[in-house]
Amino acid sequence: MTTGVHSRSAWLHPDLEAIAPRPRRKVHLDYHNSQFEPRVGYAFDPDEFVATLKKASIDSIVVFAKDMHGYFYYPSEHGPVHPGLEGLDLMGEQVEACRRAGIKVYTYYCVTWDNYLAEHHPEWLCFRRERDTYLPAFDETPNWTALCLSNDDYVELMLDHTREILSRCRPDGVWYDMPMPNPEVECFCHNCLEAIRAEGKDPFDIRVQRERMQELLTMWLRRSKEVVDEVAPGVELEQNNQTRLGLAERAEYLYNVDIEALPSGEWGYGYFPLNARYVRSLDLPSTGMTGRFLLTWADFGGLKSENQLTLETAWIAATGSAVCIGDQAPPSARLEPGVYRTIGAAYGSLAAIDDVLEGAVGVAEAALVVSGLQLADYGRTERHGTHAISDGASGAAKMLSELGVQYDVVEAGTVDLDRYPLVIVAEGDELTPAVTAELEAYVEAGGTLVHSAVPGTTLDEAPWLRDLGVTHSEPSPFTPAYLRIADGFGDTVDGYDFALYDGADRWTLGGDAPSDSVQVAATLGEPLFQRSPEHYTSHHQSPVATQTGKPVVLVGDRLAAFAFPVASGYYAHGYWLYAELFRRVLDSVHPERLVRSSAPSSLELGLTHQPETATHGERFILHAVNFAGATRRGRDHTEYFDQVVPQSGVPVELDLPLDVARVYDARTGLDVESTGEGGRIQVTLPAVAIHGVLVLEATRRSDLP
């Protein structure tokens, strides 16, 4: 049996496993209607509404109290009630119908986006550095309004709205959207400038601005939770947009984190996996949100295929997250049958294996460490003057997922890194003295660290480079530079110089370096000149001309480092060589992995864990999510996965902290042949169409002799 939650190979998130099970198949039913919609809610039928939800295997839903236009969908004393309701209490009827049907129901309330309040209270608006607001010109279509939470009367009004909603219908939860201050996460309104300057700080310093925005956001989370707990104890509170850095400070006010990440919209397929693993590192449950839309919110007429929506929901569930599908009802408020047939196909596939999803939590053997500005969004590239977030974390997450490495995303300084056998530091992290000290202590305590450096990284920022023999580091003046793989570091194209499209550092080794325990895995090549108007040749970059002999990849026993941004480079360019080098480095420093397979990168392997219960023994669940059905996309459209290309005969090796007594297919219940003993198990996956699920279970303690 497992020797404890922190074994030699896996962190099992015991505090997260102890949280009571939550709904796992939610629909977020958007319902934004402007004043130009003359009638709303006119076709709503409560019995048809819940019958449609039940048929689609939906166990929870978000319905609307107040939308982004500022309209209420019940007879609010505060107003404005949408004039098209004609006396209908749509929210109240939806809540009551769901309660009768046993469907958990949350009420939606839009916070900083409210067109009505923006027009009637311009004194509440955020101001940008350019001394304007986020409102468009009067002859443009309205967009984000960005109201500032520094206005006490505005905050108190929203809390009064909350009190009214809770007293009228007492939903299972309140779902606040867009509590983030504004898209640029800084504000130059009178209140914010005065508060920052009163503390003797510079309002034009982005770090100061982010501290201020974190204070305002945390204030809102605290005050809204206090009101909900006071008026309706036991009602849950959910706040959207909470996966930005600084979550540890906000976590005490959150029951769950919904991760809005419609992959075919602006978020892409890299956003959710990064943020889900960040949330779970802090022992918070999460719900991953995709959408039924072909594109993004309010894409009326856009509908994903059943195959793609099934794939996306399986992909979310494989991390241990609950699942939410975004929809938007038409003004009539009647749910569209075709939409819910598609949703039902996806949710029916998950409901069929609910036993292995309930209470299951993702497992981690590695930590991808991130650090930077407060409220930085690590799933997206950001730039603020000299401050920028690269795609390093997204690139590292992509490579780890493709290799089947089970990982958390950890904000520096928030959890004990010693729980993870492996730590990854990707370019884009701010290696402050505090972050560097934390990582150095981890290495000194025996941890394994892999570092992907941005050109210009100093030895003081990354002192572990000295342990690899580096005595001097400076940026190469050439972009691209080149890389040649050393003999003995795996098969490659003999003597080929691969492009380092984002440049590299020149590392100098000491006189006795490298030691016997450090391998120079690749060396740096440079061109004759940097392409410019003064010096150029052919169509593109200058070809390699010099072999410097300087290392660009160093591999030790428990340390490895890249002198170039391998992670963001892979994310930006998709260069197979970068992923291949990363794989070889991990094989060298972290050979004993939880999951190892020759599966193609299109087959993502995820591992979750369930503790023993009265009905089953302790078990690990292996999810295989098949992305092989992608269509070749044109320049201007996103990825679609409408086709199913089954994967079969894929061998998988597992090294689990568990004495496995039985391996079986969760969908069929049939045993799957395996070899090995204890937790070292070899299996061949049954054919995977979209989502294959294997259960590796121990004998219940009560059944032992």
Structural domains in the chain?
22-356 (3.20.20.80), 366-589 (3.40.50.880), 595-703 (2.60.40.1180)
Which of these, 155, 159, 135, lies nearest to 146 by C-alpha position?
Answer: 135
Rounded Cα gap, residues 324 and 350, in angstroms? 12
- Residue 260, pLDDT above cutoff 50: yes
Rounded Cα gap, residues 135 and 182, in angstroms? 12
Which segments of 334-391 does DSSP mark as H helices, in order? 337-351, 354-357
Q: What is the pLDDT of residue 211?
A: 97
Average pLDDT over residues 280-301: 97
Are the beta carbons of 443 and 449 closer than 8 angstroms? Answer: yes
Q: What is the pLDDT of residue 536?
A: 83
- Residue 72, pLDDT above cutoff 70: yes
Tokens for 281, please give them: 């590192």
- DSSP letter at 147 equals B
Helix (H, G, I), strand (E, B) or coil at 652: strand
Pairing of strands 361-362, 603-610: antiparallel
- Residue 494, pLDDT above cutoff 90: no
Pairing of strands 559-562, 544-555: antiparallel
pLDDT category at 5 given cuts 50, 70, 90 is: very low
- Residue 28, pLDDT above cutoff 50: yes
Mean pLDDT of the chain: 93
Q: What is the pLDDT of residue 380?
A: 74
Q: Which residues contact 54 (CB under 8 A, 6 or more apart)?
A: 101, 103
Which of these, 288, 285, 282, lies nearest to 247 by C-alpha position?
Answer: 282
Torsions phi, psi for 434 (to 5 deg): -65, -45
Longest CA span, the chain: 84
Q: What is the pLDDT of residue 700?
A: 72
69-83, 362-376, 530-544: least confidently modelled range = 530-544
Which segments of 61-205 does DSSP mark as H helices, in order? 90-101, 115-120, 152-169, 190-198
Which of these, 245, 274, 248, 271, lies nearest to 260 by C-alpha position?
Answer: 271
Which of these, 459, 425, 466, lies nearest to 442 by C-alpha position?
Answer: 425
- Residue 284, pLDDT above cutoff 70: yes
- Residue 388, pLDDT above cutoff 60: no
Which of these, 153, 160, 147, lies nearest to 189 by C-alpha position?
Answer: 147
Look up tokens 């700080």; give the residue: 201
Average pLDDT over residues 396-411: 97
Average pLDDT over residues 540-547: 91
Q: Model confidence over 226-251: pLDDT tens digits?
A: 999 999 999 999 999 899 999 999 99
Q: What is the pLDDT of residue 363?
A: 97
pTM of the full predicted structure? Answer: 0.95
- Residue 4, pLDDT above cutoff 80: no
108-122, 185-199, 451-465, 530-544: least confidently modelled range = 530-544
Rounded Cα gap, residues 373 and 246, in angstroms? 9
